[in-house]
Structure 1
Amino acid sequence: MSGKSLLRLAASLAPLSFILSGCATLPASPPTAAAVATTEPSLFDAGMVSAADPRAAEAGASILRRGGSAADAAIATMLALTVVEPQSSGIGGGGFLMLGNAKGEVESWDGRETAPKAATPARFLDASGQPLSFRTAVIGGRSVGVPGNIALAAKIHAEHGRLPWADLFQPAIHLAREGFALSPRGFQSLSRQPDTGAHDAEAHTIYYGADGKPLPVGTTIRNPALAGTLEMLAAKGADGFYKGELAHEIASKVAAETPSDGRMTEEDIATFVAKERPSTCGKYRVYRICSMGPPSSGATTVLATLIQLEGFDLARLGPDSPVSWHLIAESERLAYADRDLFLADPDFVKVPVAALLDPAYLHRRGALISAERTMEKVTAGLPAPKLSAGRHYVENGTSHFVVVDRQGDVASWTSTIESAFGSGVMVGGFYLNNELTDFSFAPEKDGAVVANRVEGGKRPRSSMAPTIVYGPDGKLLFVVGAAGGATIPVQVIRALVGVLDWKLPVDQALAQPVIFAPGDTITVEQGTKLEAMIPALQALGHTSVRASQMPLKTNAVLVVDGRLVGSGDPRTEGVAVSQ
């Protein structure tokens, strides 16, 4: 998006435009030696950031303009989202990050939250041994995992940063201290989820009026406590989060709001580690696709769905054919059957990633799909382990952002606090996640131990799928990711099929509707062409098809003729901003 386009957008969301001048007045600091010494030729005229909020996208782009790397800009974007999108993302949560470069080298980073070491498999059971209701489990300290985003940011900055750590905090500090305009989406979240949004007295003071109602759209929101936290972290680094006063406050407040099982301790926080994981890549037609492996199910679900479809000519069928969407739904059913049985934290459960993504296996699975009829029953395709799938809830408080810098370095980061406003617990001006509700509540099912059960120090399974695509020439082609819980893989699949098979422009690919088929019931996006296709899908044998609104939010950047073209999801306030 051009500067003029961004200004028009900012004006339409008035008074957002202050950030454009605010970010331009970052404290003057000389570029690092690494930035000065960078002489590698530029692949692109300008870098680009795509994020779910224009203020956060601009924060990242401002770092690129100062010579920052893709990793630097991604960190600044994550920090800004803590301020302007508190319902979805930020330093009180965690995430998964894919890094790539122009040579096709990729890294996978796991900043997923961990359960307290004293947590037990019975954490989300009531006194009679039955699973708690979701909202009961969410609100308060029981659902909070040790946040991972700051540890993740510190790791990648140490290896890939160009600008000083403190500089990356300045856009977010400016937004928190000087204020930002409450957007329509922010207002809607505050209205829909007051049980978490206003759970904490500190949060109620920031976002709600004396009448208990959310502040109106356009209200300037200031968060001096968060500004102070960010200033402290800018000065002290990750130790400021995981050790000392803030860690003590987090552990104390979470423990005080945890009814019984496995209260969080300062040691839990101090020992958190962001981990580099093996990159999970596969070939779809002529494209190399890399996404996040366990403890996320993103890579295996996305790649399995696509590779199972290689026997069908989706390009010829096109996006307006019910058969195209039928085939995608059938392949999703197969992929989710494997996902539910096998995916969990690889530090606790052996996940057969190589077997799940073996092309011969997936082509055999794909042969079960027919363009003319629906499979009657879908099961996992590999021998079942002595484990079971269990129940898994859907997160709605997530954000994805993409950064590509001029040198072709890439960051694709999905960041989350899980549900809207996370656990509702606020510390230092930011919400703490409810990520532990991504564990299966029941530790056993049908006499088998559930792979994704709660265990001390374990990371809950995720659906996040930050993705990087390289073309048949080995060059960077497409960077994409999404938010929306278990729908994340299908949003990414829809974008990949749209760009790679249907050759749609990136904005049109993200505008395509979503079909979600994790089992025998298919959900299509309400109010789209897919809702009109329900009779055709039923004629193909889908007996349970429903139209529904889903929490959809995708961001992406595509390389077109040697230049970057980005887009935010048209369902959201997301934008792409050029350097």
Structure 2
Amino acid sequence: MSNSAIKGLISLLLISSSVLVAAQPAEKREDREPEAATGVLKKQTIVAKHAMVATANPYASDAGYKILKQGGSAVDAAIAVQLVLTLVEPQSSGIGGGAFMLHWDKKQKTLTTFDGRETAPALSTTDMFLDKNGKAVSWINAVVGGRSVGVPGVLAGLKKAHDKYGKLPWALLFADAITLAEEGFIVSPRLEKLVAMEFNPGITKLPTIKNYFFPNGEAIKAGQLLKNKKLAAVYRSIAAQGVDVFYQGWVAKKIVAAVQNSTIAPGRLTLADMKNYQAKELPAICGAYRQYQVCGMAPPSSGGLAIIQILGQLERFDIAKMSIADTQFTHLFSQSSRLAFADRNRYVADSSFVSVPTQGLIDKQYLAQRSRLIDLDKDMGIATAGIPKGAVAQADDNALELPSTSHISIVDQEGNAVSMTTSVEMGFGSALMVEGFILNNQLTDFSLDPKRNGQWVANRLEPGKRPRSSMAPMMVFNQDDSLKLVVGSPGGSRIINYVAQAMIAILDWQLDPQSAISLPHITNRNKVTTLEKGTELVELKSALEAKGHKVMVRDLNSGIHAIEISNGYLRGGADPRREGKAIGY
């Protein structure tokens, strides 16, 4: 293929989807690298009547759209999307990682969640990430290699959801991903940049992943056709034999061998760990915000709880009369976020192992009490965790979460919906690559130091435990219990701020999804108030500092994907900071 033909193909792949109800002119767009970009690019809200999918990559959106057009359910489309993302966005998510999914059944008016979060191997110990002096190893040194790998959960979660809500045959959902893996996909500018910058040092230290991303010693380039025949073979096996081949068959054996024999930090994963993994179906957690019900994942995800807390603590303020460029809004949002993160860092972990005061944290009286700590004129500094009903004393934890994750929002033709956030944690995960896919490093989402000041940390590593997460797939419902919004984002622990802000923009400011997603970001994780570089928010720095804020200006590269149901239509948006798109019919 000529260079001009390749460039033409790239342009076609990166064009935003047309509006199918009222067609919009296609717009060519430049890609932005997610962890180093500045500013946002203009996109238009996509409108459709029947069904819609919004994902982080055009290939994945197209695969999900095709399934919807064939009469597939939202869960069917989510499976097709995840399989393609494993191939085309391997740095962010994949079958070697984990996921959280919310599912709305419109006919039955039921909301449920599927927990496909990774688990710690049975041979794990609380001191696994401590050095010989009993000190936690540096986080970056904990990431690479087999020690950081948890039992992958995403496939088990998707299979559990498909058993209940799938319509099309399991094997059919693999078709697009198999074809792309065998025939090749065009490398995006974003993937090129992340490989070139060696965002994860393991990609040049471990041979299998190095050979894939640096063929003949040269990093892959945007526009290059990249094939992954090993992944195609894995997909063919799983399509034909089901997930047992992944958890008990030849793929499981390959995974375990890679972890145990890693040349860097070999791990403790066994075939028994793989065989014994169980995805969970759990109730969602919901809280009121104005006239809406806001719903998300229960622990071990902290995202749903923290977002409900942020919104609940802000409810007494007239947010609708403010704007993103209002110093007072930025101040209030940052203060509410401080309070939520203080509680998150103390109490939230896997509730199968520790007592998490879930209902106490979102109790209206508790949130009103916490809200009264917000001073209109002064930054509160580092917030202290509250004492909600049911709280048990725990040490605070500041385990790191990096922003290489992906979010999928889908509404099918029957009105059923999926909000799914999926991750391998650090960009390129543990950097262990097995048969064409990357294994997660989710064990580093545990506190590497199990004790603080002699007290146990709730989110400490224990055998079989799921690490805490900030992933926040969310849904919002109207007063009549009809679905209003499907939303979520990647972004490490900043996910909580990204999603909460987008929800405020849609619910309070009445913005369409694309406009809400494209707003500049504010974050505060109970540390500093961070303003998105290259945006109008930078002008608020002095005014915030006058209120006592410590302010940082930096890139805040979310990957929000949202679908709003309004007046019988679906309105969708994809984050202009990344390469995704929304498409519907």
What amino acid sits opposite 2:471 in the alignment? M
Aligned pairs for 1:27-426 (under 5 A) are 45-102=49-106, 104-192=109-197, 193=199, 195-210=201-216, 212-257=217-262, 263-382=268-387, 385-426=392-433
In structure 2, the gaps of 5 or more residues are 1-6, 18-47
Query: Is residue 2:549 matched to residue 1:552?
Result: no
What amino acid sits opposite 1:83 in the alignment? L
SS of the aligned residue for 2:277 comes to coil
Shift of 1:351: 0.5
Equivalent residues of 2:129, 2:448 under 8 A apart = yes
| Structure 2 partner of 1:568 | 574
The CA distance in 1 between the partners of 2:97 and 2:431, in whole Å, is 12
Pair 1:12–1:501, CA change in 2 (3 A): farther
Cα-to-partner distance string for 1:43-81 (whole Å, 9 max, x where unaligned): x73210000101001101100011100010011111110
The CA distance in 2 between the partners of 1:119 and 1:290, in whole Å, is 33
Shift of 1:190: 0.7
Query: C-alpha root-mean-square deviation of aligned residues, in Å?
Result: 1.9
Equivalent residues of 1:396, 1:485 under 8 A apart = yes
| Structure 1 partner of 2:510 | 503
Equivalent residues of 2:208, 2:432 under 8 A apart = no
Shift of 1:368: 1.6
Shift of 1:434: 0.5
SS of the aligned residue for 1:186 comes to helix
The CA distance in 2 between the partners of 1:80 and 1:488, in whole Å, is 23
SS of the aligned residue for 1:478 comes to strand
| Structure 1 partner of 2:520 | 513
The CA distance in 2 between the partners of 1:80 and 1:11, in whole Å, is 22
Shift of 1:105: 1.8
The CA distance in 2 between the partners of 1:261 and 1:390, in whole Å, is 26
Cα-to-partner distance string for 1:90-126 (whole Å, 9 max, x where unaligned): 1010010000133542101110001101100111111
| Structure 1 partner of 2:24 | none
What amino acid sits opposite 1:420 in the alignment? G
Pair 1:206–1:376, CA change in 2 (3 A): closer
The CA distance in 2 between the partners of 1:521 and 1:283, in whole Å, is 28
Shift of 1:249: 1.2
| Structure 2 partner of 1:445 | 452
Equivalent residues of 1:196, 1:420 under 8 A apart = no
How many residues in Structure 1 have an aligned counterpart in Structure 2?
Answer: 545
Q: Point out 4+ residue stretches in structure 1 off by more than 6 angstroms.
A: 258-262
SS of the aligned residue for 1:557 comes to strand
What amino acid sits opposite 2:321 in the alignment? R
SS of the aligned residue for 1:418 comes to coil
Cα-to-partner distance string for 1:148-179 (whole Å, 9 max, x where unaligned): 01101110110000000000011111111111
Cα-to-partner distance string for 1:468-515 (whole Å, 9 max, x where unaligned): 111223211110000011001101001000000111111110011221
Equivalent residues of 2:144, 2:265 under 8 A apart = no
1:464 pairs with 461, 464, 471, which one? Answer: 471
Shift of 1:371: 2.3
SS of the aligned residue for 1:344 comes to coil
Query: Is residue 2:577 matched to residue 1:577?
Result: no
What amino acid sits opposite 1:116 in the alignment? P
Pair 1:177–1:376, CA change in 2 (3 A): closer
The CA distance in 2 between the partners of 1:334 and 1:428, in whole Å, is 44
Pair 1:213–1:491, CA change in 2 (3 A): same
| Structure 2 partner of 1:538 | 545
Equivalent residues of 2:382, 2:526 under 8 A apart = no
Cα-to-partner distance string for 1:22-55 (whole Å, 9 max, x where unaligned): xxxxxxxxxxxxxxxxxxxxxx732100001010
The CA distance in 1 between the partners of 2:363 and 2:84, in whole Å, is 40
TM-score with structure 2 length normalisation?
0.90
The CA distance in 2 between the partners of 1:417 and 1:520, in whole Å, is 25
Shift of 1:261: 8.4
Equivalent residues of 2:196, 2:219 under 8 A apart = yes
Equivalent residues of 1:281, 1:289 under 8 A apart = yes
The CA distance in 2 between the partners of 1:17 and 1:227, in whole Å, is 24
SS of the aligned residue for 1:288 comes to strand
The CA distance in 1 between the partners of 2:258 and 2:265, in whole Å, is 14
Shift of 1:17: 8.7
The CA distance in 1 between the partners of 2:256 and 2:422, in whole Å, is 21
Shift of 1:131: 1.1
SS of the aligned residue for 2:440 comes to coil
Shift of 1:318: 2.3
Shift of 1:328: 0.5
The CA distance in 2 between the partners of 1:272 and 1:198, in whole Å, is 31
| Structure 1 partner of 2:25 | none
Pair 1:368–1:12, CA change in 2 (3 A): farther
Equivalent residues of 1:208, 1:215 under 8 A apart = yes
Equivalent residues of 1:286, 1:472 under 8 A apart = yes
The CA distance in 1 between the partners of 2:362 and 2:501, in whole Å, is 19
In structure 1, the gaps of 5 or more residues are 1-9, 21-43
- Tell me the percent identity: 42
What amino acid sits opposite 2:344 in the alignment? R
Query: Is residue 2:10 matched to residue 1:13?
Result: yes
Shift of 1:448: 0.5
The CA distance in 1 between the partners of 2:351 and 2:119, in whole Å, is 13
